[in-house]
């Protein structure tokens, strides 16, 4: 019998990493730094949730730690950056609206892990 509690991609074991940031963009150099930071997030598999909020699904806490460490190694010198990890179950309880219209949240696609 299939038991979801013991599956590898369990809603309580898999995580979402949310990265929140406010980076200075007054000068051309600051805009370049902010753009580079966003590009590195995208290159690492993050997707834009809102302009200064990016998110990434991770199948395990260990995988989330790898990506969090990678971001920490690429932090810009100035600006505010925050990280938050939440379970897939918590993420699934989020309600999204466009105006007053409730929108279904996207389900993460299952990712293949190679060892």
Distance (Å, whole) CA 54 – CA 4: 28
**106-110 mean pLDDT:** 60
Distance (Å, whole) CA 45 – CA 34: 17
Q: Give yes or no for a contact between 20 and 82, defined as CB atoms under 8 angstroms apart.
A: yes
Q: Where in the chain does DSSP place strands (E)?
A: 15-22, 47-50, 53-58, 80-87, 96-98, 101-103
Q: Is the pLDDT higher at 7 or at 101?
A: 101
Q: Is the pLDDT of residue 9 over 50?
A: yes
Nearest C-alpha neighbor of 24 from the set 69, 63, 74, 76? 76
In terms of pTM, does the model score above 0.85? no
51-71 confidence digits (pLDDT tens): 999 999 999 999 999 999 999
Two structure tokens written together for 45: 């598999």
Two structure tokens written together for 114: 């190679």
Q: Give yes or no for a contact between 104 and 57, defined as CB atoms under 8 angstroms apart.
A: no
């Amino acid at each position: 019998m299939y038991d979801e509690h013991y599956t590898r991609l369990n809603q309580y074991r898999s995580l979402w990493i949310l990265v929140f940031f406010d980076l200075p963009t007054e000068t051309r150099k600051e805009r370049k730094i902010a753009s580079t930071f966003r590009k590195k997030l995208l290159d690492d598999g993050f997707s834009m949730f809102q302009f200064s909020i990016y998110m990434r699904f991770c199948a395990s806490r260990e995988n989330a730690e790898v990506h969090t460490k990678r971001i920490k190694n690429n932090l810009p010198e100035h600006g505010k950056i925050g990280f938050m990890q939440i379970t897939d179950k918590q993420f699934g309880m989020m309600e999204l609206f466009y105006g007053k219209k409730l929108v279904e949240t996207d389900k993460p696609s299952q990712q293949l892990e190679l060892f």
